[in-house]
Amino acid sequence: MKSAAAATGAPAPGALPWLAALLALAVVFVWGTNFVVIKFALAQLPPLLLAALRFALAAVPLVFFLPRPRTVSWRNLALYGVAIGVGQFGLLFYAMTRHISPGLASLVIQAQVFFTVALAMALAGERVRPHQVVAAALALGGMALIASRSGGDSQTSALGVLLALGAAFSWGVGNMASRAAGRVNVLAYVAWSSLFAVPPLLVASFCYEGWPRMLDGLKAANGATWAAVLWQSVGNTMFGYGAWAWLLGRYSASAVSPFALLVPVFGMGAAALTLGEAMPAWKLLAAALVLCGLALNLLWPLWRRWLALASR
């Protein structure tokens, strides 16, 4: 008997044409290796100014070509912009100046998955599932291992882990805001919400980094620095979010979403290859625990759905 997916002509769960699979790989490659690009940009630019520039270029010129999503309130756009711009990237960029290595940052921030689940339980009354408890326990074990060894890693401190977790929590808040926004043009939503991220980031940069440091950073920025800044907006936002939304709009989430598990893999691999970040056994074990938790949280319900469809 044909499955329901086959009968309707929809892609079978887990199936993705090879060109679409290559596009998904390109997106997660960009998102993962971006942690190394961030490190390069931070060599000249102070972190909060870098975040402000990233979101300024994510908003302009897109807001002149993409209309504001009319079904989304200004409050929702502001919440998403501040949560992602100031909370996620502001904290992440600051942490990556000298408090956490790029590879570990790409891994720790994946805790956003579990913060999103916790926020959904607290705010939307969603019930926790048994597989989510096991997944969270695995990921928590990995995070605890990272925290316990942070003092022995010259590139990572306990403060860096806490800042990265704060960035992950802010990402979770942003996820709740985007969920409340409903089905909208993702690029337009990100572009218009980015307008709300720029002012507080500029104010924070002026207050905490100071005008002299901001000016010195802009003067020291070279072509490679500006390329890294553009990569934040063009590569991550315009290409990354746009292509990911395109894939989710044409293929099942069960086929596309698992590729996101490769983001920390690319992140840690790129950090090791380009920056010489050490990958001792404890770091690999922590990565394995976190990735197993993420995989269980994502793939278990998809596996059950696939079995249900296959049995029809």
Q: Is residue 306 very low, low, confident or very high in pLDDT (cuts 50, 70, 90)?
A: confident
Structure confidence by residue, pLDDT tens digits, 59-117: 999 999 999 999 999 999 999 999 999 999 999 999 999 999 999 999 999 999 899 88
State the pLDDT at residue 151. 64
What pLDDT is attached to residue 154? Answer: 63
Q: What is the pLDDT of residues 131-179, one digit of tens each?
A: 888 988 999 999 999 988 876 666 788 899 999 999 999 999 999 999 8
On whether the CB atoms of residues 260 and 29 are closer than 8 A, the answer is: no
Residue 4 has pLDDT above 50, yes or no: no
Residue 72 has φ and ψ, to the nearest 5°, of -105, 130
- Is the model's pLDDT at 14 over the cut of 60? no
Q: How far apart are CA 63 and CA 110, in angstroms?
A: 29
Confidence (pLDDT) at 8: 42
Q: Quote the strand ranges of 164-228, DSSP E.
A: none
pLDDT of 24 reads: 92
Q: Can you give the pLDDT at residue 256? A: 82
Tell me: the pLDDT tens digits for 255-295?
A: 787 888 899 999 999 999 999 999 999 999 999 999 999 88
Q: Which amino acid is at 199?
A: P
Condensed to tens digits (0 to 9), the pLDDT of residues 216-251 reads 999 999 999 999 999 989 999 889 988 988 888 788
Distance CA(112)–CA(119), nearest Å, equals: 10
Of 44, 32, 27, 4, the closest CA to residue 273 belongs to: 32
pLDDT (mean) for 185-213: 96
pLDDT band at 2 (very low <50, low <70, confident <90, very high): very low
The whole-angstrom separation of Cα 87 and Cα 181 is 19
Name which of 27, 182, 171, 33 is nearest 113 in CA terms.
171
